[in-house]
């Protein structure tokens, strides 16, 4: 008779991965605090051992509730709080407990693809927003059987909910071309890695498509002091910011430099909401809360067995014209 396999523990995972138990704990609960190589080793060891931390033997967290984790770079990008609002709106009356995890911004690291997630064994599902996963992580999720939905991230294996950022870039380009602009600057916060396609990259692709078709010009650059003067010196007549908070910084630099908006320089943002409204900013409004609500509905469908395991949903964006764009000044 074969000998039963010993129950997997954090100790057996640490031994197999060749790391300490504290490193295993960090890799699982706070993956941003260990290197990508260590995350991968712990993830592979956990899978080989069949280890699922926190598994109590019963489905759900406390008192029979189903438990869903929501992970996103909340502290880096406040727009994810608005997506979270949509998630909570859907889940609060459904007998589902929500655990929130803050993840690091993918923009700031050369190895942004998550190989391990803060996923406990007693979770019934997980929603991951704005953090691209490695193929190994996606495959591990599929093998674990824990339903997962990705938001603002592309995948061919897991259900996804995204806004149509490509179309958003097209809308901004068409608007500025109609006003007569021929030289634009797209400004972003910088992206340390090209291993994944970010929302900003999809916006630039859409923008570039219409600008190239019109025979106009767009330059993409990371934000840095002196951006406004450099754009004007290069002959640009409009700056498109990757998000509204960045557009606010551009507007502040214009004000400090005595540059009149939109008479000398047009400025646009991206996201929509209270900040854009307060600034009377031309922007693309994303359905942020609706994106979160759709992800929650999709996850509930997977949990209840009423939704296909793999499905991609794309929500439309809309152009909101404010007072920060106008025709370029005559030469």
Give the angle subtended at the CA of 143 by the CAs of 122 and 17, to the nearest 5°.
80
Structure tokens that stand for 104 in this block: 């690091």
Q: Model's pTM, two decimal places?
A: 0.79
Structure tokens that stand for 141 in this block: 């999720």
Could you tell me if residue 191 is left (phi over 0), alpha (psi between -120 and 50 degrees) or otherwise beta? beta
Looking at residue 29, what is its pLDDT? 65
Give the separation between CA 42 and CA 14, rounded to whole angstroms. Answer: 7
Helix H or strand E segment including 209: helix 199-213
Structure tokens that stand for 293 in this block: 């609500």
Whether 324 contacts 266, CB under 8 Å: yes
The count of residues in the chain is: 331
Give the separation between CA 173 and CA 284, rounded to whole angstroms. Answer: 11
Structure tokens that stand for 160 in this block: 């996804």
Whether 266 contacts 259, CB under 8 Å: no
Angle between helices 79-91 and 288-304 (to 10 degrees): 40
b/e 275-306 (16+ beta carbons within 10 angstroms → b) = bbeebebbbbbbbbbbbbbbbbbbbbbbbeee
Which is nearest to 188 in space by CA: 151, 229, 259, 240? 240
Q: What is the DSSP string of 124-190?
A: SEEEEES--B-HHHHHHHHHHT--EEEESS--SSS-EEEE-HHHHHHHHHHHHHHHT--EEEEEE--
Helix H or strand E segment including 310: none
Looking at residue 308, what is its pLDDT? 67
- Tens-digit pLDDT string for the chain (331 aa): 444 456 667 677 778 888 886 777 777 666 667 777 787 788 778 777 776 665 444 344 444 578 898 989 888 888 999 999 999 999 877 778 888 888 877 655 554 445 555 455 678 889 999 888 877 778 777 777 788 999 998 888 889 999 999 999 999 999 999 999 999 999 998 765 566 568 888 999 999 999 999 999 999 999 899 999 999 999 999 999 999 999 999 999 999 999 999 999 999 999 999 999 999 999 999 999 999 999 999 998 888 878 766 689 999 999 999 999 999 987 6
Nearest 5°: phi and psi at 205? -60, -45
Write down all domains in the chain, each with its CATH number in brackets.
1-51 (1.10.260.40), 58-163+290-315 (3.40.50.2300), 165-285 (3.40.50.2300)
Give the angle subtended at the CA of 241 by the CAs of 108 and 222, to the nearest 5°.
45
């Amino acid at each position: 008779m074969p000998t039963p396999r010993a129950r997997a523990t954090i100790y057996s995972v640490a031994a197999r991965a060749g790391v300490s138990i504290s490193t295993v704990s960090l890799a699982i609960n706070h993956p941003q605090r260990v290197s990508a190589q260590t995350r991968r080793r712990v993830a592979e060891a956990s899978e080989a051992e069949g280890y699922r931390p926190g598994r109590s033997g019963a489905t759900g967290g406390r008192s029979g509730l189903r438990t869903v984790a929501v992970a996103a770079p909340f502290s880096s990008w406040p727009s994810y709080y608005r997506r979270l609002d949509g998630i909570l709106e859907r889940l609060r009356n459904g007998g589902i407990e929500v655990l929130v995890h803050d993840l690091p911004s993918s923009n700031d690291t050369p190895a942004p693809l998550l190989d391990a997630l803060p996923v406990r064994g007693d979770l019934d599902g997980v929603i991951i927003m704005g953090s691209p996963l490695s193929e190994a992580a996606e495959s591990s999720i599929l093998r674990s059987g824990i339903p997962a939905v990705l938001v603002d991230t592309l995948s061919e294996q897991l259900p996804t909910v995204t806004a149509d950022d490509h179309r958003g870039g097209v809308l901004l380009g068409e608007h500025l071309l109609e006003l007569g602009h021929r030289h634009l600057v797209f400004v972003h916060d910088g992206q340390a890695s090209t291993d994944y396609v970010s929302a900003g990259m999809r916006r630039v692709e859409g923008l570039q498509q219409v600008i190239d078709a019109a025979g106009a010009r767009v330059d993409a650059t990371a934000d840095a002091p002196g951006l406004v003067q450099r754009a004007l010196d290069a002959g640009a007549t409009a700056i498109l910011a990757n998000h509204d908070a960045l557009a606010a910084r551009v507007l502040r630099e214009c004000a400090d430099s005595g540059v009149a908006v939109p008479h000398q320089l047009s400025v646009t943002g991206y996201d929509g909401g209270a900040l854009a409204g307060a600034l009377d900013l031309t922007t693309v409004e994303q359905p942020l809360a609706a994106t979160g609500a759709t992800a929650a509905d999709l996850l509930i469908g997977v949990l209840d067995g009423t939704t296909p395991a793999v499905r991609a949903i794309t929500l439309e964006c809309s152009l909101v014209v404010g007072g920060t764009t106008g025709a370029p000044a005559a030469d």
